[in-house]
Amino acid sequence: MNPTWLVVLRKELKDMVRDKRAVLAIAYYAFGVPLLMAFVLFLMSDDRGEYDRLQVAIVGQEQAPGLVSFMANAGIEVQEAMVGANPEKLPSGADALVILPKTYADDLVAGKQVKIRLFVDETTKGGAKRGSVVERTIQAYGAQIATVRLVNRGVPPTLTMPFSVVTADLANSQFVVKMLGYSLVLLFMFAPFVSGMSVALDALAGERERQSLQSLMAQPVGARDVVIGKWLTVAIFSFAGSSLAMAVNLTVLNFLPHDVLPFPLKASVPGLLLAFSQMACLSLFVSGLLLTVSIHAKSFKEGQTYMSLFMMLPVLVGYSKMYGDAKIPAAANYLPIFADVESLSRILFVGEPSAEFILAAMVSSLIGAALCIGITTRRLTSEQLLADA
Amino acid sequence: MIIIDHIAKNFGDIQAVRDVSLEARDGAITTLLGANGSGKTTTLRTVAGLLKPSTGTVKVDGIAVADDPLAAQRRLGIFPDQFGLYTRLTTREHLAYYGELHGLSGAALDGAITDVAGLLHMQDILDRRTEGFSQGQRMKVALARAIVHRPQNVVLDEPTRGLDVMSVRLLRRILTDLREAGHCVLLSSHVMAEVEILSDHVVMMVDGVVCAAGTAAELVAKSGQPNLEEAFVHLTETHERTAA
């Protein structure tokens, strides 16, 4: 004779596998999200590539080997251009057009000011940035020439340049990377919610709606066995969905060129095994939460309303980590989802799993799951609920 | 055998059942007869272990339901007022689920499903999903589900509601067969003709109390009315006047 929770589990699995909503939720999340990520990275890659792919067309470059060499050292590709005196658009493939006067070399030797015309396309933010980089590079080359002239005349160049400002762009190297990294982890946090929601709603709110709960509870099966059977069903769907989402996303990201990927993926095989174990515990917790919400709804539709409010939870946690990490009390980082975000980030982006946060994520999830099962079981034995069922 | 001894049940200020006592014997069909809201369903739910009576006791084959609900439920087959089927499961899967919850497995379970399918002439729908079933087919699944484990006691809450003539006749035959096989059958109804044809013992309820009990013939004779319907109206009104 099978334990009754196992009988409930087997029936629920058989029932839910045939539920198109439950299966589609997993498929949509596992395969739809990578497409979304690819789109975001495509947008990001345009900005990131501006330095690598910057190309300048120069009219009269044969007169300015020094400038061409300086630009090449700055990572700018230079191409010869043949355009009229008043161009209306940039040459094909060029981010900027520089027109040097025919007297460029002579004026430079004579110490005269050389008038260089720079044409850029500021239609897009990226185009404006590229034009600005070219302008700064030309100015820097001019400053270098000035320095050489002053040195030749015995004047220390520091007299005319009292400040030396070195600017480091933290956005690309830290904040944006952190934000994108947390966004990816947040997508993984959503997965057990999305994958288990429909199953959880059908498991309890659905039983109430189709009025089968009363019949079920009149059988010789304890409320706890019913809840455990249904909870494990939801957890299996949640874990299947989140594992698939994580596997597909990480596989796709792994195949992307490294210069397109805004954050480094450093996960090792043992790290990934830990990540999946952690997701299993999180799925158990999320399934418990979803069932607790589901049992308070009398119908699938009512449950969907509660769930849509409830889905704000991972969003809030994710944004708190992204924008207000420093303001979050330290203890909160040991709660489920908070600890999961922290731990997964370290496994995936640092390559060094944190035993402290992995343990916190797993233990807090299991405690949370036990609490949810207790609440749901208590509610299932409520006479009011059974009288209404 | 089901014995209900002076049970009362209230939901907050609402007194659903005030004082109900009855004995449903093995080999007999006992019917709770009453108007809507008279407390029939609440009484049957206390038998099923879904509700605990505020006072009084319910015993199923000598087992107090409040003390050991699971043991009592193993002796019961429940046919609820709503069929509540799982539309993505086949009839066979329904029967297997409920059979397994009652501890059946393997060949015993397969045999029980084959037997009950034969009894209810439902082989043609055994491997079909229940989505789109007619009311009669749904009734068959719900009844088969209730008796697949061959319970000694069968409890049915308004079983003929919404059924066509053929389904009602089939149900009557099944209940009669169960009686002949020595089972205890307890049902609720407000359909006089059905009660008169089926019942060995009728318990009339009004406002959560038993106002009269006996065979249909005894109740008609006691009321001095020509038929059971008139007897029901007379006896319930007499009780209400007395209570007032």
Mutate which of A10, A16, A215 to test chain B, going by most B C-beta atoms within 10 A? A215
pLDDT band at A122 (very low <50, low <70, confident <90, very high): confident
Neighbours of A22 (CB within 10 A): 23
Percent of chain A with pLDDT over 90: 42
pLDDT at A50 over 50: no
Query: Considering CB atoms only, which of B52, B84, B93 is closest to A14?
Result: B93
B190, B80, B206, B230: which is closest to B143 by C-alpha? B80
B-proximal residues of A, 62-121, CB under 8 Å: none
What is the ipTM for the molecules in this complex?
0.92
pLDDT digits (tens, 9 = 90+) for B89-128: 999 999 999 999 999 999 999 999 999 999 998 999 999 9
Q: What is the pLDDT of residues A216-261, one digit of tens each?
A: 999 999 999 999 999 999 999 999 999 999 998 888 887 776 666 6
Please report, for chain B, how many H helices and E strands are present, in that order.
9, 10
Beta pairing, strands A96-99 & A55-59: parallel
* CB pair distance less than 8 Å for A386 and B51: yes
Q: Which CATH architecture has domain B2-75+152-243?
A: 3-Layer(aba) Sandwich (3.40)
Q: Residue B61 carries which DSSP code?
A: T
Gyration radius (Cα) of chain A, Å: 31
Q: Does A211 touch chain B (CB under 8 A)?
A: yes
Judge if pTM exceeds 0.90: no
Per CB-CB distance under 8 Å, the chain A contacts of B51 are 383, 386-387
Instruction: Find, in chain A, the residue whose alpha carbon is nearest to that of B96.
Output: A11
How far is the alpha carbon of A220 from chain B, nearest alpha carbon, in Å?
Answer: 5
Is the CB of residue B2 less than 8 Å away from at least one CB of chain A? Answer: no
> Of the candidates A129, A112, A111, which has an alpha carbon nearest to the alpha carbon of residue A120?
A129
Distances (CA, A) of B131 to A301, A389, B88: 20, 20, 7
Residue A113 pLDDT > 70 = yes
List phi, psi (to 5°) of B189: -165, 160
DSSP notation for A201-218? IIIIIHHHHTT-HHHHHT
3-class DSSP state for residue A54?
coil
**pLDDT single digits (tens) A148-199:** 888 888 888 777 777 777 766 555 445 666 677 778 888 899 999 999 999 9
DSSP strand pairing (B209-214 vs B201-206): antiparallel
> Which of B115, B109, B111, B174 has the alpha carbon at shortest distance from B140?
B174
Closest-CA distance, B158 to chain A, in angstroms, reads: 14
DSSP state of B13: T
Confidence of residue B239 (pLDDT cuts 50, 70, 90): confident
Q: Which residues of B fall within a CB distance of 8 Å from A383?
A: 11, 50-52
Instruction: Measure B33 CA to nearest chain A CA, in Å.
Output: 20
CB A244 within 8 A of CB A25: no
- Residue A316 confidence (pLDDT): 85
Beta strands in chain B (DSSP E): 2-11, 14-24, 28-34, 55-60, 63-64, 76-79, 153-157, 184-189, 201-206, 209-214
Beta carbon pairs, A and B, within 8 Å: 80
Q: Distance (Å, rounded) from C-alpha A129 to C-alpha A37?
A: 25
Contact A7 B86 (CB under 8 A): no
List the A96-99 sheet strands across, edge first: A77-80, A55-59, A96-99, A117-120
- Answer whether A19 touches B (CB < 8 Å): yes
Of the partner residues B76, B85, B101, the one whose CB lies closest to the CB of residue A4: B101
The set of residues, in sequence order, having a beta carbon less than 8 Å from that of A226 and lying 6+ positions away, is A4, A5, A8, A216, A217, A380
Q: Name which of A92-96, A204-208, A298-302, B108-112 the model is least confident about.
A: A92-96
Q: How far apart, in whole angstroms, are the C-alpha atoms of residue A305 and residue A323? A: 28
Instruction: Return the structure tokens found at A140.
Output: 């820097």
> Is B12 in the A-facing interface, judged by CB distances under 8 Å?
no
Cβ pair B103:A218 closer than 8 A: no
Q: Which residues of A touch B102 (CB under 8 A)?
A: 219-220
pLDDT, tens digit (0-9, with 9 covering 90-100), for B10-45: 988 889 999 999 999 999 999 999 988 899 999 999
Domains of chain A: 4-46+171-388 (no CATH), 55-167 (3.40.1710.10)
**Domain segments of chain B: what residues?**
2-75+152-243, 89-151
* Percent of chain B whose predicted confidence (pLDDT) is above 90: 75
d(CA B179, CA B25): 10
CA distance B131 to chain A (A): 12
- Partner A contacted by B108 (CB < 8 A): no
